[in-house]
Structure 1
Amino acid sequence: MASKFMLAFGIAVVNLMLFSIGSEMPNPYSGGKEGSFLLKDTNSVQLQDISGNVLTLDDVKRQHQGKVIFIEYWASWCAPCRELMPASEAVRADVKDLEVAYVYLSLDSDHDKWIKASREERISDYSLNYRVTNGRTSEFLKKYNINFIPQAMVLGKSGMVLNTKLVPGAKTLVPYLTSLSRN
Protein backbone atom coordinates (compact mmCIF):
# COMPACT_ATOMS: atom_id res chain seq x y z
CA MET A 1 0.00 0.00 0.00
CA ALA A 2 2.80 2.43 0.92
CA SER A 3 4.58 1.78 -2.38
CA LYS A 4 1.37 2.45 -4.33
CA PHE A 5 0.94 5.72 -2.44
CA MET A 6 4.54 6.69 -3.14
CA LEU A 7 4.09 5.87 -6.84
CA ALA A 8 0.93 7.99 -7.00
CA PHE A 9 2.63 10.78 -5.07
CA GLY A 10 5.66 10.62 -7.38
CA ILE A 11 3.46 10.85 -10.47
CA ALA A 12 1.64 13.84 -9.02
CA VAL A 13 4.92 15.59 -8.14
CA VAL A 14 6.32 15.05 -11.64
CA ASN A 15 3.10 16.36 -13.17
CA LEU A 16 3.20 19.33 -10.83
CA MET A 17 6.74 20.16 -11.87
CA LEU A 18 6.00 19.77 -15.58
CA PHE A 19 2.85 21.88 -15.56
CA SER A 20 4.10 24.55 -13.14
CA ILE A 21 7.21 25.53 -15.08
CA GLY A 22 6.87 29.13 -16.10
CA SER A 23 3.55 29.70 -14.36
CA GLU A 24 3.18 32.26 -11.63
CA MET A 25 1.85 30.56 -8.53
CA PRO A 26 0.28 32.31 -5.56
CA ASN A 27 1.67 32.00 -2.06
CA PRO A 28 -0.54 29.35 -0.39
CA TYR A 29 0.08 30.93 3.02
CA SER A 30 -0.88 34.45 1.99
CA GLY A 31 -4.21 34.19 3.82
CA GLY A 32 -6.14 35.43 0.80
CA LYS A 33 -4.18 38.66 0.46
CA GLU A 34 -1.13 39.19 -1.72
CA GLY A 35 -0.48 36.61 -4.40
CA SER A 36 -4.07 35.39 -4.55
CA PHE A 37 -6.25 35.27 -7.62
CA LEU A 38 -9.85 36.41 -7.76
CA LEU A 39 -12.26 33.55 -8.23
CA LYS A 40 -13.81 34.18 -11.63
CA ASP A 41 -15.69 32.09 -14.14
CA THR A 42 -16.95 29.61 -11.54
CA ASN A 43 -20.28 29.62 -13.37
CA SER A 44 -18.43 28.05 -16.30
CA VAL A 45 -17.93 24.85 -14.27
CA GLN A 46 -21.13 22.86 -14.64
CA LEU A 47 -21.70 20.11 -12.08
CA GLN A 48 -24.05 17.23 -11.45
CA ASP A 49 -24.62 15.46 -8.16
CA ILE A 50 -25.36 11.76 -7.62
CA SER A 51 -29.11 12.40 -7.84
CA GLY A 52 -28.76 14.16 -11.21
CA ASN A 53 -29.26 17.70 -9.90
CA VAL A 54 -27.43 20.31 -11.96
CA LEU A 55 -25.52 23.22 -10.45
CA THR A 56 -22.32 25.20 -10.95
CA LEU A 57 -19.14 25.65 -8.96
CA ASP A 58 -20.42 29.15 -8.25
CA ASP A 59 -23.47 27.59 -6.54
CA VAL A 60 -21.20 25.44 -4.36
CA LYS A 61 -19.12 28.51 -3.53
CA ARG A 62 -22.25 30.43 -2.46
CA GLN A 63 -23.48 27.49 -0.33
CA HIS A 64 -20.19 27.51 1.58
CA GLN A 65 -19.57 31.25 1.71
CA GLY A 66 -17.15 32.17 4.48
CA LYS A 67 -15.50 28.74 4.49
CA VAL A 68 -12.28 27.50 2.97
CA ILE A 69 -13.21 25.29 0.01
CA PHE A 70 -10.86 22.41 -0.76
CA ILE A 71 -11.52 20.90 -4.19
CA GLU A 72 -10.14 17.48 -5.09
CA TYR A 73 -10.19 16.63 -8.79
CA TRP A 74 -10.34 12.93 -9.61
CA ALA A 75 -11.87 10.39 -12.03
CA SER A 76 -12.91 6.74 -12.07
CA TRP A 77 -10.21 5.89 -14.64
CA CYS A 78 -7.39 7.62 -12.70
CA ALA A 79 -5.53 4.90 -10.76
CA PRO A 80 -3.37 7.37 -8.76
CA CYS A 81 -6.54 9.28 -7.78
CA ARG A 82 -8.21 6.12 -6.58
CA GLU A 83 -5.11 5.04 -4.65
CA LEU A 84 -5.08 8.40 -2.84
CA MET A 85 -8.73 8.13 -1.75
CA PRO A 86 -8.02 6.54 1.68
CA ALA A 87 -5.53 9.33 2.49
CA SER A 88 -8.00 11.86 1.14
CA GLU A 89 -10.74 10.44 3.34
CA ALA A 90 -8.43 10.78 6.36
CA VAL A 91 -7.76 14.46 5.56
CA ARG A 92 -11.49 15.06 5.12
CA ALA A 93 -12.15 13.46 8.53
CA ASP A 94 -9.42 15.55 10.17
CA VAL A 95 -10.92 18.84 8.90
CA LYS A 96 -14.62 18.02 9.32
CA ASP A 97 -14.98 20.22 12.40
CA LEU A 98 -13.23 23.19 10.78
CA GLU A 99 -14.67 25.87 8.51
CA VAL A 100 -13.64 23.80 5.49
CA ALA A 101 -15.87 22.44 2.73
CA TYR A 102 -14.15 19.37 1.21
CA VAL A 103 -15.44 18.98 -2.36
CA TYR A 104 -14.83 16.12 -4.79
CA LEU A 105 -15.05 17.04 -8.50
CA SER A 106 -14.84 14.12 -10.88
CA LEU A 107 -13.66 14.73 -14.43
CA ASP A 108 -15.44 11.58 -15.66
CA SER A 109 -17.34 11.98 -18.91
CA ASP A 110 -19.28 8.76 -18.25
CA HIS A 111 -21.92 9.30 -15.56
CA ASP A 112 -22.36 5.58 -14.77
CA LYS A 113 -18.64 4.99 -14.29
CA TRP A 114 -18.49 7.96 -11.93
CA ILE A 115 -21.43 6.60 -9.91
CA LYS A 116 -19.81 3.16 -9.70
CA ALA A 117 -16.41 4.56 -8.67
CA SER A 118 -18.06 6.88 -6.12
CA ARG A 119 -19.71 3.84 -4.53
CA GLU A 120 -16.47 1.87 -4.55
CA GLU A 121 -14.63 4.78 -2.91
CA ARG A 122 -17.45 5.27 -0.37
CA ILE A 123 -18.19 8.86 -1.39
CA SER A 124 -21.49 8.29 -3.20
CA ASP A 125 -23.42 9.39 -0.09
CA TYR A 126 -21.11 12.34 0.55
CA SER A 127 -23.07 15.51 -0.29
CA LEU A 128 -20.11 17.39 -1.80
CA ASN A 129 -19.31 14.82 -4.49
CA TYR A 130 -19.97 16.11 -8.01
CA ARG A 131 -19.17 15.30 -11.62
CA VAL A 132 -17.98 18.10 -13.90
CA THR A 133 -20.15 17.88 -17.02
CA ASN A 134 -18.17 20.33 -19.14
CA GLY A 135 -14.57 19.63 -18.21
CA ARG A 136 -13.22 20.19 -21.70
CA THR A 137 -14.93 23.53 -22.28
CA SER A 138 -14.96 25.22 -18.85
CA GLU A 139 -13.07 28.51 -18.95
CA PHE A 140 -12.32 28.25 -15.24
CA LEU A 141 -10.68 24.82 -15.57
CA LYS A 142 -8.67 26.06 -18.54
CA LYS A 143 -7.59 29.23 -16.74
CA TYR A 144 -6.30 27.29 -13.74
CA ASN A 145 -4.73 24.51 -15.81
CA ILE A 146 -6.80 21.67 -14.38
CA ASN A 147 -5.37 19.36 -17.01
CA PHE A 148 -3.96 16.52 -14.94
CA ILE A 149 -5.14 14.55 -11.95
CA PRO A 150 -4.83 13.84 -9.09
CA GLN A 151 -4.84 17.52 -8.28
CA ALA A 152 -6.47 19.80 -5.74
CA MET A 153 -7.29 23.48 -5.36
CA VAL A 154 -8.02 25.71 -2.38
CA LEU A 155 -10.43 28.64 -2.40
CA GLY A 156 -10.07 31.00 0.54
CA LYS A 157 -12.93 32.22 2.72
CA SER A 158 -13.19 35.34 0.58
CA GLY A 159 -13.68 33.25 -2.56
CA MET A 160 -10.19 33.67 -3.94
CA VAL A 161 -8.09 30.90 -5.44
CA LEU A 162 -5.16 30.46 -3.08
CA ASN A 163 -3.46 27.37 -4.48
CA THR A 164 -4.11 25.27 -7.57
CA LYS A 165 -1.45 22.57 -7.51
CA LEU A 166 -1.95 20.56 -4.35
CA VAL A 167 -1.73 16.79 -4.03
CA PRO A 168 -4.91 15.26 -2.53
CA GLY A 169 -4.27 13.30 0.65
CA ALA A 170 -0.88 14.88 1.38
CA LYS A 171 0.00 14.96 5.08
CA THR A 172 0.67 18.70 4.91
CA LEU A 173 -2.95 19.46 3.98
CA VAL A 174 -4.39 19.21 7.49
CA PRO A 175 -2.13 21.89 9.03
CA TYR A 176 -2.50 24.04 5.89
CA LEU A 177 -6.31 23.85 5.88
CA THR A 178 -6.41 24.32 9.67
CA SER A 179 -4.36 27.48 9.36
CA LEU A 180 -6.53 28.85 6.55
CA SER A 181 -9.76 28.08 8.38
CA ARG A 182 -8.61 29.92 11.52
CA ASN A 183 -7.47 33.09 9.74
Structure 2
Amino acid sequence: MKKKLILPLLGAIITLVFASFSFLPKADKELYTFKDLKGEKVDFKQFEGKYVYIDVWASWCGPCLREIPSLQDLEKKHHGKDVVFVSLSVDQDTEAWKKMVIKKGLEGNQFHFADNNDFVQKFNIQSIPRFILLDKKGKVKAADAPRPSSEDIEKLFEQLGI
Protein backbone atom coordinates (compact mmCIF):
# COMPACT_ATOMS: atom_id res chain seq x y z
CA MET A 1 0.00 0.00 0.00
CA LYS A 2 2.89 2.38 0.72
CA LYS A 3 4.22 1.87 -2.83
CA LYS A 4 0.84 2.93 -4.26
CA LEU A 5 1.06 6.24 -2.39
CA ILE A 6 4.73 6.95 -3.01
CA LEU A 7 4.68 6.80 -6.82
CA PRO A 8 1.87 9.35 -7.35
CA LEU A 9 3.34 11.58 -4.67
CA LEU A 10 6.80 11.40 -6.26
CA GLY A 11 5.27 12.20 -9.66
CA ALA A 12 3.50 15.25 -8.24
CA ILE A 13 6.71 16.51 -6.61
CA ILE A 14 8.69 16.12 -9.84
CA THR A 15 5.99 17.96 -11.77
CA LEU A 16 6.02 20.86 -9.31
CA VAL A 17 9.80 21.12 -9.36
CA PHE A 18 10.05 21.20 -13.15
CA ALA A 19 7.10 23.58 -13.49
CA SER A 20 8.94 26.11 -11.35
CA PHE A 21 11.95 26.40 -13.68
CA SER A 22 11.86 29.58 -15.78
CA PHE A 23 13.32 27.95 -18.90
CA LEU A 24 10.23 25.84 -19.46
CA PRO A 25 8.13 27.55 -22.13
CA LYS A 26 4.70 28.97 -21.43
CA ALA A 27 1.78 28.07 -23.67
CA ASP A 28 2.55 29.07 -27.26
CA LYS A 29 -0.36 31.49 -27.38
CA GLU A 30 1.38 33.67 -24.77
CA LEU A 31 4.70 33.47 -26.59
CA TYR A 32 3.35 35.16 -29.69
CA THR A 33 1.94 38.32 -28.14
CA PHE A 34 3.73 41.53 -29.04
CA LYS A 35 3.05 45.25 -29.62
CA ASP A 36 2.48 47.01 -32.91
CA LEU A 37 3.67 50.49 -33.91
CA LYS A 38 0.74 52.05 -32.05
CA GLY A 39 1.67 50.22 -28.86
CA GLU A 40 -1.35 47.92 -29.04
CA LYS A 41 -1.08 44.23 -28.18
CA VAL A 42 -1.23 41.84 -31.09
CA ASP A 43 -0.92 38.10 -31.28
CA PHE A 44 -0.36 35.60 -34.02
CA LYS A 45 -3.89 34.13 -33.87
CA GLN A 46 -4.68 36.42 -36.78
CA PHE A 47 -2.23 34.46 -38.94
CA GLU A 48 -3.76 31.03 -38.35
CA GLY A 49 -3.95 29.05 -41.57
CA LYS A 50 -0.78 30.57 -43.03
CA TYR A 51 2.91 29.98 -42.57
CA VAL A 52 4.57 32.76 -40.55
CA TYR A 53 8.13 33.78 -41.40
CA ILE A 54 9.52 35.83 -38.51
CA ASP A 55 12.48 38.19 -38.83
CA VAL A 56 13.95 38.92 -35.38
CA TRP A 57 15.99 42.10 -35.72
CA ALA A 58 17.01 45.43 -34.14
CA SER A 59 17.57 48.93 -35.47
CA TRP A 60 21.25 48.95 -34.40
CA CYS A 61 22.08 45.57 -36.00
CA GLY A 62 24.07 45.94 -39.24
CA PRO A 63 23.50 42.37 -40.49
CA CYS A 64 19.77 42.78 -39.74
CA LEU A 65 19.57 45.95 -41.81
CA ARG A 66 21.44 44.28 -44.69
CA GLU A 67 18.76 41.54 -44.81
CA ILE A 68 15.90 44.04 -45.23
CA PRO A 69 16.11 44.40 -49.05
CA SER A 70 16.16 40.60 -49.47
CA LEU A 71 13.25 40.26 -47.05
CA GLN A 72 11.27 42.89 -48.97
CA ASP A 73 11.96 41.04 -52.25
CA LEU A 74 10.87 37.76 -50.67
CA GLU A 75 7.67 39.39 -49.41
CA LYS A 76 6.87 40.80 -52.86
CA LYS A 77 7.53 37.47 -54.55
CA HIS A 78 5.24 35.60 -52.17
CA HIS A 79 2.55 38.26 -51.76
CA GLY A 80 -0.91 36.71 -51.65
CA LYS A 81 0.41 33.22 -50.96
CA ASP A 82 0.11 31.08 -47.83
CA VAL A 83 2.83 32.92 -45.92
CA VAL A 84 2.83 35.99 -43.70
CA PHE A 85 5.98 37.96 -43.00
CA VAL A 86 6.52 39.41 -39.54
CA SER A 87 9.37 41.66 -38.49
CA LEU A 88 9.91 41.49 -34.75
CA SER A 89 12.18 44.09 -33.21
CA VAL A 90 14.07 43.31 -30.02
CA ASP A 91 15.19 46.92 -29.60
CA GLN A 92 15.25 48.08 -25.98
CA ASP A 93 14.54 51.59 -27.28
CA THR A 94 11.13 51.44 -28.96
CA GLU A 95 11.58 54.94 -30.41
CA ALA A 96 14.74 53.83 -32.22
CA TRP A 97 12.73 50.91 -33.67
CA LYS A 98 9.89 53.18 -34.82
CA LYS A 99 12.33 55.64 -36.41
CA MET A 100 14.07 52.83 -38.32
CA VAL A 101 10.72 51.50 -39.58
CA ILE A 102 10.00 54.97 -40.98
CA LYS A 103 13.55 55.53 -42.29
CA LYS A 104 13.59 52.21 -44.16
CA GLY A 105 9.96 52.52 -45.29
CA LEU A 106 9.09 49.17 -43.74
CA GLU A 107 5.55 48.00 -44.24
CA GLY A 108 3.50 45.01 -43.26
CA ASN A 109 3.63 43.35 -39.88
CA GLN A 110 6.05 45.40 -37.79
CA PHE A 111 6.00 44.33 -34.16
CA HIS A 112 8.08 44.92 -31.05
CA PHE A 113 8.84 42.10 -28.65
CA ALA A 114 7.61 44.33 -25.79
CA ASP A 115 9.80 42.61 -23.20
CA ASN A 116 8.40 39.21 -24.15
CA ASN A 117 11.46 37.43 -22.82
CA ASP A 118 9.65 34.09 -22.94
CA PHE A 119 9.80 34.27 -26.74
CA VAL A 120 13.51 35.11 -26.66
CA GLN A 121 14.18 32.27 -24.21
CA LYS A 122 12.08 29.69 -26.05
CA PHE A 123 14.09 30.20 -29.22
CA ASN A 124 17.36 30.74 -27.37
CA ILE A 125 17.94 33.94 -29.32
CA GLN A 126 21.49 34.99 -28.57
CA SER A 127 22.26 36.75 -31.81
CA ILE A 128 20.36 38.48 -34.58
CA PRO A 129 19.21 38.51 -37.25
CA ARG A 130 17.30 35.34 -36.58
CA PHE A 131 14.57 33.88 -38.75
CA ILE A 132 11.87 31.52 -37.55
CA LEU A 133 9.19 29.73 -39.56
CA LEU A 134 5.89 28.64 -38.03
CA ASP A 135 3.52 26.25 -39.76
CA LYS A 136 -0.14 26.96 -40.51
CA LYS A 137 -1.14 25.85 -37.02
CA GLY A 138 1.43 28.06 -35.29
CA LYS A 139 3.85 25.25 -34.51
CA VAL A 140 7.56 25.74 -35.04
CA LYS A 141 8.59 24.46 -38.46
CA ALA A 142 12.13 25.89 -38.40
CA ALA A 143 13.53 27.52 -35.25
CA ASP A 144 16.53 28.73 -37.23
CA ALA A 145 15.14 29.25 -40.73
CA PRO A 146 17.32 30.38 -43.63
CA ARG A 147 17.88 34.10 -44.13
CA PRO A 148 15.99 35.89 -46.91
CA SER A 149 19.30 36.47 -48.72
CA SER A 150 19.91 32.72 -48.86
CA GLU A 151 18.72 30.54 -51.74
CA ASP A 152 17.78 27.99 -49.08
CA ILE A 153 14.70 29.96 -48.06
CA GLU A 154 13.26 29.64 -51.55
CA LYS A 155 13.97 25.90 -51.49
CA LEU A 156 12.21 25.59 -48.14
CA PHE A 157 9.22 27.58 -49.36
CA GLU A 158 9.07 25.44 -52.50
CA GLN A 159 9.09 22.24 -50.41
CA LEU A 160 6.18 23.63 -48.37
CA GLY A 161 4.24 24.68 -51.45
CA ILE A 162 4.49 28.38 -50.72
TM-score range, shorter chain: 0.7 to 0.9
| TM-score under structure 2 length normalisation | 0.76
Gap change, CA 1:174 and 1:180, over 3 Å in 2 = same
**Relative contact order: is structure 1 or structure 2 higher (C-alpha 8 Å, sep ≥ 6)?**
1
5+ residue gaps, structure 1: 1-38
Gap change, CA 1:167 and 1:122, over 3 Å in 2 = farther
Deviation string for 1:163-183 (max 9, x for gaps)?
11124312221332243245x
Percentage identity across paired residues of the two chains: 26
SS in 2 for 1:113: helix
Aligned length: 137
Choose which of 38, 49, 65 in structure 2 pairs with 1:51: 38
CA drift at 1:46: 4.1
| TM-score under structure 1 length normalisation | 0.68
Is the Cα contact below 8 Å between 2:59 and 2:97 reproduced in 1? yes
For 2:141, the aligned partner's letter is L
CA distance in 1: counterparts of 2:89 and 2:40, whole angstroms = 15
Considering only aligned residues, what root-mean-square deviation do their CA atoms show, in Å? 2.1
For 1:147, the aligned partner's letter is Q
Is the Cα contact below 8 Å between 2:85 and 2:108 reproduced in 1? no
For 1:43, the aligned partner's letter is E
Larger Rg: 2
CA distance in 1: counterparts of 2:147 and 2:85, whole angstroms = 11
**2:136 paired with 1:157:** yes
CA distance in 2: counterparts of 1:97 and 1:178, whole angstroms = 15
CA distance in 2: counterparts of 1:77 and 1:156, whole angstroms = 29
5+ residue gaps, structure 2: 1-25
Choose which of 28, 53, 60 in structure 2 pairs with 1:41: 28
CA distance in 2: counterparts of 1:111 and 1:81, whole angstroms = 16
Is the Cα contact below 8 Å between 1:152 and 1:166 reproduced in 2? yes
CA distance in 2: counterparts of 1:117 and 1:95, whole angstroms = 24
Is the Cα contact below 8 Å between 1:150 and 1:167 reproduced in 2? no
CA distance in 2: counterparts of 1:110 and 1:158, whole angstroms = 32
